[in-house]
Structure 1
Amino acid sequence: MLKSLEIYGQRNTLKIVLALNLLLVGTASLLYTNSLIAKLEEREENDVKLYARALVNVYDENADEDLTFITNEIMFVNQKNQVPTIYVDENHKIPKIPIHNYTFPPGTSDEEILGILEEELADMKEEHQPIVVEVDGKINGYIYYHNSLLLTQLRFFPYVLLAVMVTLGFLAYLAFSSARRAEQNRVWVGLAKETAHQLGTPLSSLMAWVEYLRSDPSVDHSVADEIEKDVKRLETIATRFSSIGSVPTLKSENIYETVSQFIAYLEKRISTKVKIHVENFLVDGKEVKINKLLFEWVVENICKNAVDAMGGIGKLTIRLMPLPRNEIAIDITDTGKGINKANLQKVFTPGYSTKKRGWGLGLTLAKRIIEEYHEGRLFVKSSEVGKGTTFRILLKENVMSEGPVVKGEKTVRSAS
């Protein structure tokens, strides 16, 4: 058991290391990409400044023809880089002659173009400071601009990358956890089936000894009968273990009779200082589809845990009640030491046990039997330290099994 815990501890450490590495890679990618964005942003600003200088030659009547050609090339490159720009005059008005990096579909009117440009201009003013266009030391206008599509993509890229890495890390965690649970299940299924197999031979031998005792006139037959009951109980336990990992067969059973009969067997094999009460508020003959052997195992695990919690002295109440939506509730209440809030979520965790010799598997298996095989629920309904705990089992009732309503309650009390 200690070695198993050590293995799981190492796997938890591996998860932490994996998470830290993912975080480190994501952070490094974020910082590096942001530095690239800053450099690209600076380059685009320089391009726009170059574009602004080129515009000077548009208004210079003495501009050289070759220089004008270069100017056109610069303006073409700026447009090719897809940096949206809008030129306004010294009064911040968009000139009639279009000087901007926008193309519009054929047939777009001048009024529509002007409206679109004004909307874009309002956004640009919030995004960047304008580039001043000066001719002969005099302000001739301003150029406003947006970031290019490439720069916008790069700006959001690190966040997308980080989100992807977090998602991959989460999926890796789920895969790791799923693999661990699958490995645990394989180990316990194999162990259970091997236990059932090993119990087979001595049980057959014990049955033979029971028959031998019955044939001896000097032996009280009631002793042999009680031994036979325990041997059959062991056979039931072996059957339970052998059925782990297989899909159980569910049959309609009278739920009150199933519980009361099992409690009648169990109360003779626990402390005589524990009083057991079974209270039935269901209609007479209420049936529920269960696997009787596995369901009794659940009740046994909960009751034995309750007896341990009471230290072998106290009261155990089992109450069967109808609920809305065709459900029935089976509440198992003890007068034990209770469970503090910090441990309420741990009671069904494999390996958790307050007993020195406990394996911490009983309630885990009970929850799995109820929720996976019977499509019900098992949970701690309430618990108070020093006063006791109530476990609740919820099952879907068999709607076809309606009988006469029971008046009052039925109670089976321990012979103590």
Structure 2
Amino acid sequence: MSKNSFFFNLSDQLSGWRLVIISILMLVGAGVLYYFNQLGQALQDRETKYATLYAESVRFFIEQGLDSPCDYTFVSEVIGANESIPAILVSEGEAINAVNIAELTDSTRTFTEEERKKFLDEKILAMAAEHEPIEIDLLEGQRGYLYYSSSSTLKELKFFPYILLATFLVFGTLAFIAYSSSRKAEENRVWVGLAKETAHQLGTPISGLLGWIAVLREFDGFDQSIGDEMEKDVYRLETITTRFSNIGSVPTMKEENIGKVVEETTLYLRRRISTKIEWFVANTLSPDINNKINRHLFEWVIENLCKNAVDSMAGVGELYVTIYEKPNGKVQIDIRDTGKGISNANQRKIFRPGFSTKKRGWGLGLTLAKRIIETYHGGKLFIKQSELDKGTTFGIIV
């Protein structure tokens, strides 16, 4: 497989930039995660120190006793300042104090003594799994333990970088879709303009050719059969001009018998393509089965697929065209050649603009064919089967 050099270079440039952008985004994402991880760790260390200070304040308060002349102002402020870190003080296996437990301060929820004890036991287990409890010396040689967990702010902070990255990802995806749509629209306008200008430029010489054929017919001894074939080719040019004119416009659809259209198209091609190609056309459609199609564009698709098949066989081989009705009422056309086939890797690229099996050309034939069938006719164009050195079958369903 080969690509046209213009599209090849453009594709390489875009792929290179894409890799650079993806690498930068990955580095930014990794940097964001690292920064917030470090920030979260610093806040976690701070809360651990604060919990330790809180535990020491509780120990000092209990150790001095209520009747002590000591000034408890600072200690009371330390204990009262803890408004965010959930903590439970345990002595002798029993919870003797709990602070900043949202469920216990919820006025809409009430606990029985048994429910409260069970709830605190579960909370203590959860806190123990999260942080190592802080040991406190209590009165008369007793030992207490302060269990605590991270504040809700710190817990929410752990999810913040992922939310931030997800937000960037969503906005980045939307921006990419908008850019991609804009670029495709611009490309479509260029190709549509080129096609219509080509059709316009062909109009005058085609009219001139018809006039010259009429003049030739007036000469004695002129072989009229030659004139008939010349007219067929000129009318074919008119058909091609009409096809180019229809690009970018909503085509006019008419009821046609697809089998008849395909037969007429292949008959025309047989006389103008290598005589070393054997044609086998099988049409099992009933004459009264009609579908709404644009004849000029549909013929273009058949012609394009048949010419591609001939090229893949290097002008020597067999070409099978089968037209039949599917059980669901759709019409299917299979075009099979005995050419070189298409590799699995290239089958995914074959319909991309600029990708071609030929050394010459823009690589737009199959792209336009797929658009004509799927966009204008609501059908499907696909590779039904392909095997290297044995041939390829293209399928059309309309």
TM-score by length of 1: 0.88
Counterparts of residues 294-373 of structure 1 (less than 5 Å): 294-373=297-376
Give secondary structure in 2 for the equivalent of 1:390: strand
The aligned counterpart of 2:87 is 85
Aligned to 1:165, which of 140, 151, 168? 168
Cα RMSD (Å) of the superposition?
2.0
Cα distance in 2 between the residues matched to 1:99 and 1:243: 79
Cα distance in 1 between the residues matched to 2:69 and 2:381: 89
Q: CA deviation at 1:361?
A: 1.0
Give secondary structure in 1 for the equivalent of 2:250: coil
Q: 1:218 to 1:142 in 2, by over 3 A?
A: same
The aligned counterpart of 2:99 is 100
Q: Do 1:26 and 1:161's aligned partners in 2 also have CA atoms closer than 8 Å?
A: no
State the AA in 2 paired with 1:280.
Answer: N
The aligned counterpart of 1:70 is 74
Deviation larger for 65-74 or 219-228: 65-74
Give secondary structure in 1 for the equivalent of 2:360: coil
Q: CA deviation at 1:347?
A: 1.5
Q: Percent identity?
A: 47
Counterparts of residues 14-413 of structure 1 (less than 5 Å): 14-60=17-63, 61=65, 64=68, 67-78=71-82, 80=83, 82-89=84-91, 91-95=92-96, 98-102=97-101, 103-106=104-107, 107-135=110-138, 138-395=141-398
Deviation larger for 336-345 or 386-395: 336-345
The aligned counterpart of 1:403 is none
* Partner deviation per Cα, 1:80-101 (whole Å, 9 max, x = no partner): 2x11111110x32223xx3433
Q: CA deviation at 1:3?
A: 4.4
Deviation larger for 68-77 or 264-273: 68-77
Q: Do 2:128 and 2:147's aligned partners in 1 also have CA atoms closer than 8 Å?
A: yes
Indicate the structure whose relative CO is greater, using CA pairs within 8 Å and at least 6 residues apart: 2
Q: CA deviation at 1:65?
A: 5.7
* Partner deviation per Cα, 1:55-106 (whole Å, 9 max, x = no partner): 123423266466333333222211x2x11111110x32223xx343334344
* Partner deviation per Cα, 1:353-408 (whole Å, 9 max, x = no partner): 1212122111111011001111111111011112111100011xxxxxxxxxxxxx
Q: 1:219 to 1:44 in 2, by over 3 A?
A: same
Cα distance in 2 between the residues matched to 1:130 and 1:301: 77
Q: Do 2:7 and 2:354's aligned partners in 1 also have CA atoms closer than 8 Å?
A: no
Give secondary structure in 1 for the equivalent of 2:355: coil
Q: 1:192 to 1:257 in 2, by over 3 A?
A: same
Q: Do 1:19 and 1:169's aligned partners in 2 also have CA atoms closer than 8 Å?
A: no
Deviation larger for 14-23 or 311-320: 14-23
Q: Do 1:132 and 1:139's aligned partners in 2 also have CA atoms closer than 8 Å?
A: no
The aligned counterpart of 1:402 is none
TM-score by length of 2: 0.92
Gaps of 5+ in 1: 396-416
Give secondary structure in 1 for the equivalent of 2:309: helix
Q: 1:282 to 1:269 in 2, by over 3 A?
A: same
Q: CA deviation at 1:292?
A: 0.5
Deviation larger for 22-31 or 98-107: 98-107
State the AA in 1 paired with 2:391.
Answer: G
Q: 1:65 to 1:368 in 2, by over 3 A?
A: farther
State the AA in 2 paired with 1:93.
Answer: E
Q: 1:272 to 1:65 in 2, by over 3 A?
A: farther
Give secondary structure in 2 for the equivalent of 1:67: coil
